[in-house]
Amino acid sequence: MSSETQKILTTGGIPLEESLKKVEKRNKIKAFLLVSPLLFFLIIAYISPIVSLLFTSIDDRMVTNMLPKTFKAMKQWDGKDLPSEEVFEAFYQDYKILIEEKRHGKLSTQMNYEKNGFKSILKKLARKMKKFEEGNYKEQIMAVHKRWADVEYWRALKRRAPTYTYSKYLKGVDMYENEEGKIVEVPEERRIYKILWLRTLEIAFFVTLFCFLMAYPIAHLLATLPMKYSNLLMICVLLPFWTSLLVRTASWMILLQQQGIVNDVFVWTGLVADDSRPEMMYNKTGTYVAMTQILLPFMVLPLYSVMKTISPSLMRAGKSLGGTPFITFWKVYFPLTIPGIGAGCLLVFIIAVGYYITPELVGGASGTLISNQIAYQMKSTLDWSFASAMGLMLLTGVLVVYWVYNKLVGIDNIKLG
Amino acid sequence: MKNFVKALMSLFFAISVTTSSWAVVMVSWGGAYTESQKLGYGDPAAKKLGIPIDWVDYSGGLSEIKAQIAAGAITWDVIDVYAMDTIVGCDEGLFVEFDFDKDFPPAPDGTPASQDFFTTMPSKCAVGNILYSWTYAYHDEKIGSKKPKKIKDFFNTKKWPGKRGIYKSAMHNLEIALAADGVKPRKGGSKLYEILETDAGLDRAFNKIKELCEDPNGGCVFWSAGAKPPELLMQGEVVMATGWNGRFFNAEIGEGAPLKQVWDAQGLDYQYMSIVKGGPNQADAMKAVAEMTSTHGLAGSAKYIAYAPWRKSSLKVIEAGEPWYKDGKTNMMEQMPTHPNNTKNYFLVDPIFWADNSTEIGERWEAMKAGL
């Protein structure tokens, strides 16, 4: 039987199977060629910048190449006491070349990220080095500034020797590798990132929860009300969605600040005294309120699209089989909405975890998130490698959430509409 | 129809190319400040040189320009920057290094530019623009009969209960904390920075701020935009707020708001201009900057805002032309942070200290804020 089918030939005398494969292959190439400009564009304009920026978080070739002799000489040094004359001389020679090539400024920026106070002593050294005499560099360098005689600064220099480093990731969780190669926590008063990571998770979680609690009844109303009411309600959901984010955030500021409209109403109705107006803005409360309102449509719309497809006769069937309204809701309706809940929660959580502008404006001191810290590193300290390290950590976190969700619920169960 | 669209698009393209290729793009902080720059020296310089100047707002920091250079698509020519940013930008090779006396015109009496400016520049890429000051202010009608006079009063929550508006970063806050804690800044404020260099001194400053922010009678509201402090005071969100003297002046004199400034322990700070290396219009940018920072250029901006011009010769122009403010009746000299009445107790914000220590102190500051 099978030998017979093999014998089927095309008019050209080639077996049909082969001929079909050929055509299919040609079609595949054609299809690929059709999408290739777009794919090419995506790789160049979207993927490669992201990858290259993420790569800077581990790439430390710049500093390694700036001080080749120093790092070679430092190999023998155990990091306990001040390094030997040999290291100082090597450093002097490396730094001299950098000054000639006008690259010493970049080194001072980089080293200042590693250990604060480097910037000015490197600058001072650059000025004083012109008058250095030959020999005994250790003494001459140490005479420039007292910090050059501090072993901590030389340890910081040694930490920058490897070509690739994960130190920025350690820094992102308030840790560093000390001179013995142990990973330890930074002094307590400088621990900031862990607090921010936890707070970001906490706020994203509660915003998702609040959104869910509010959106579920709204979406249910939208799906079950007669057309003329539900259309009106739909506009009420969509109108804020179409309004600029900044306008919505600013409106909350006007409403909730201490001398704002809501507080004025409280005082006017005698709910609170004029001098003890509650603080609802520039703190965590402000972030919760504004973010929940802004992200609400992202929860309502997927829920609505799922609920719309649930036939009302299912509920009636449940009731006719003897279920109370609650039981029918819980056993019939609710399970059918899970794909919408999954989509909405995942969407809101992922957006909330990386939210920037609203917490920046309304968060004050206690309501800002990790994204605000990333922006600070991008904008103010210009430490882009640290910013991209934290960015990657955030991205990984989101992917983990996605993975867990996939394991628990299954990503195929998501329904956006 | 299609041809029409094509023609329209090519026209837009042509316009965008030509305008961007010959206007100098000047980036500054927006609000009353940019207004004073534009009217004071931007427009006159543009008219004189025949080089149009476009004004763009930004909120500080060098990330945008660093990104533009990294992407090879530079659209900014001149940036109005903090001292610290001129140092970092110069080190990173983002800015053009000046040949000071050659690039900038001398004073009318022939004094070379480098002698006419008050101090030397913090980096080779900076030219002085204005001197401004960090002061604090209160709402004259809401504060009560006793008025704050000293820096100590800013921290006195017993006499003046209520929240304080302070800058979002550690800069300037640590200095006034020490000054309020009884440290005499000494001339130029070097004593403050000497103390801040030590661990004990840093603790002392941090504790003072923390105490204020955690005080149930006090509390802190952090501001970031310069327009915010007068706003917070007018809304009654805070009883006192630190801020930039030009913004307070603008609210008080320009708009007639009942705000009063306190000059005790004011922090003098400088604002600079830097030219982007490889900007779209570098040669014209150089000409425009030289014209704007000339004696008459800098004096011109003081017509619109109470920031002091950096050239000594500009002060003479203002003095001779009093009342210099645009309303024609306010004397500008006494509103200047450099006026002897205002400099009885002051410090100079030290850009080198902050360039050195801003990351570590910044982390500690953020940790403190997060724990409030």
Query: Please, are residues B352 and A122 in contact by the beta-carbon 8 Å criterion?
Result: no
A87 lies in the same domain as A11: no
Does B355 lie at the interface with A, CB-CB under 8 angstroms? yes
A33 lies in the same domain as A67: no
Assess if residue A179 is contained within a domain.
Answer: no
Q: Which domains does chain B have, with CATH numbers?
A: 23-131+270-334 (3.40.190.10), 134-268+343-370 (3.40.190.10)
Q: Which of A199-203, A339-343, B30-34, B84-88 has the highest mean pLDDT?
A: A199-203
pTM, two decimals, is 0.80
For B5-43, the pLDDT digits (tens) are 566 656 655 555 555 557 899 999 888 889 999 999 999
A239 lies in the same domain as A385: yes
Q: How far is CA B78 from the centre of its chain?
A: 15
Both ends of chain B: CA-CA distance in Å? 63
Q: Which of B6-15, B304-313, B320-329 has the highest mean pLDDT?
A: B304-313
A108 lies in the same domain as A208: no
Given an 8 Å threshold on Cβ–Cβ distance, is A119 in contact with B90? no
For B154-210, the pLDDT digits (tens) are 999 999 999 999 998 899 999 999 999 988 887 778 899 999 988 899 999 999 999
In chain A, which among 92-131 make CB contacts under 8 A with chain B?
A: 102, 105-106, 108-109, 112-113, 116-120
pLDDT at A176: 87
Assess if residue A172 is contained within a domain.
Answer: no
Report DSSP letters for B241-270, one per residue: EEEEHHHHHIIIIIS---EEEEEEEEEEEE
B202 vs A152, A338, A357, B175, B372, CA distance in Å? 19, 54, 31, 10, 18
Query: By residue range, what is the domain housing residue A11?
Result: 2-55
Which tokens go with A237?
A: 């959901």
For A220-232, the pLDDT digits (tens) are 999 999 988 999 9
For B343-369, the pLDDT digits (tens) are 888 898 988 888 888 888 888 898 888
Range of lowest pLDDT (A51-55, A350-354, A413-417, B175-179): A413-417
> Backbone phi, then psi, for B217, in 5-degree steps?
-85, -15
How many separate domains does chain A show? 3
CA separation for the pair A393, A370 (Å, rounded): 10
A272 lies in the same domain as A152: no
Single-letter residue type at B296:
H
Bridge partners of residue B137, in order along the sequence: B241, B261
CB atoms within 10 A of CB A311: 9
A37 lies in the same domain as A148: no
Q: Closest by alpha carbon to A398, among A362, A350, A357, A356?
A: A350
| Domain end among A15, A34, A55 | A55
Does A189 lie at the interface with B, CB-CB under 8 angstroms? yes
Q: What is the dihedral of CA A12, A18, A21, A27, to 10 degrees?
A: -20
Average per-residue pLDDT in chain A?
Answer: 88
Given an 8 Å threshold on Cβ–Cβ distance, is A105 in contact with B91? yes
Per-residue confidence at A1, pLDDT binned at 50, 70, 90? very low
The stretch A371-399 carries a mean pLDDT of 90
A331 lies in the same domain as A353: yes
Assess if residue A181 is contained within a domain.
Answer: no
With a cut of 70, say whether residue A60 has pLDDT above it. yes
The stretch B325-353 carries a mean pLDDT of 85
Kindly report the CATH number assigned to the domain that includes residue A364. Answer: 1.10.3720.10
CB atoms within 10 A of CB B52: 16
Flag whether the ipTM exceeds 0.90. no
Which tokens go with B205?
A: 């400053």
Per-residue confidence at B324, pLDDT binned at 50, 70, 90? confident
Substitution target from A189, A195, A274, A283 for chain B, most B beta carbons within 10 A: A189
A376 lies in the same domain as A280: yes
For B242-287, the pLDDT digits (tens) are 999 988 998 998 888 999 999 999 998 889 999 999 988 899 999 9
With a cut of 50, say whether residue A270 has pLDDT above it. yes
Of A116, A259, A379, the CB nearest to B63: A379
For residue A373, list chain B residues with Cβ-Cβ distance below 8 A: 366
Per-residue confidence at A123, pLDDT binned at 50, 70, 90? confident
A211 lies in the same domain as A356: yes
Q: Tell me which DSSP letter residue B275 carries.
A: E
Given an 8 Å threshold on Cβ–Cβ distance, is B367 in contact with A106? no
Q: Which residues contact A222 (CB under 8 A, 6 or more apart)?
A: A230, A233, A234, A237, A300, A304, A307
Assess if residue A187 is contained within a domain.
Answer: no
Measured in angstroms, the CA of A380 and the nearest CA of chain B are apart by 5
Residue tagged 């600079």 (tokens) = B272
A139 lies in the same domain as A280: no
CA separation for the pair B193, B349 (Å, rounded): 9
For A10-47, the pLDDT digits (tens) are 777 788 888 889 999 999 999 999 999 999 999 999 99
pLDDT at A413: 67
Of B91, B220, B360, the CB nearest to A109: B91
The stretch B309-336 carries a mean pLDDT of 85
Assess if residue A395 is contained within a domain.
Answer: yes
CB atoms within 10 A of CB A8: 10
Measured in angstroms, the CA of A155 and the nearest CA of chain B are apart by 17
Which tokens go with A101?
A: 């090539």
Assess if residue A186 is contained within a domain.
Answer: no
A251 lies in the same domain as A400: yes
Q: Closest by alpha carbon to B342, among B248, B272, B271, B251?
A: B248
Residue of B nearest to A99 (CA): B91
A279 lies in the same domain as A234: yes
pLDDT at B266: 92
Assess if residue A171 is contained within a domain.
Answer: no
CA separation for the pair B235, B238 (Å, rounded): 8
CA separation for the pair A17, A172 (Å, rounded): 58
CA separation for the pair A212, A202 (Å, rounded): 15
In chain A, which among 366-385 make CB contacts under 8 A with chain B?
A: 366, 373, 376, 378-384
The stretch A343-351 carries a mean pLDDT of 92
Assess if residue A353 is contained within a domain.
Answer: yes
Average per-residue pLDDT in chain B?
Answer: 88
| Domain end among A127, A144, A165 | A165
Range of lowest pLDDT (A92-101, A393-402, B7-16): B7-16
CB atoms within 10 A of CB B240: 26
With a cut of 60, say whether residue B111 has pLDDT above it. yes
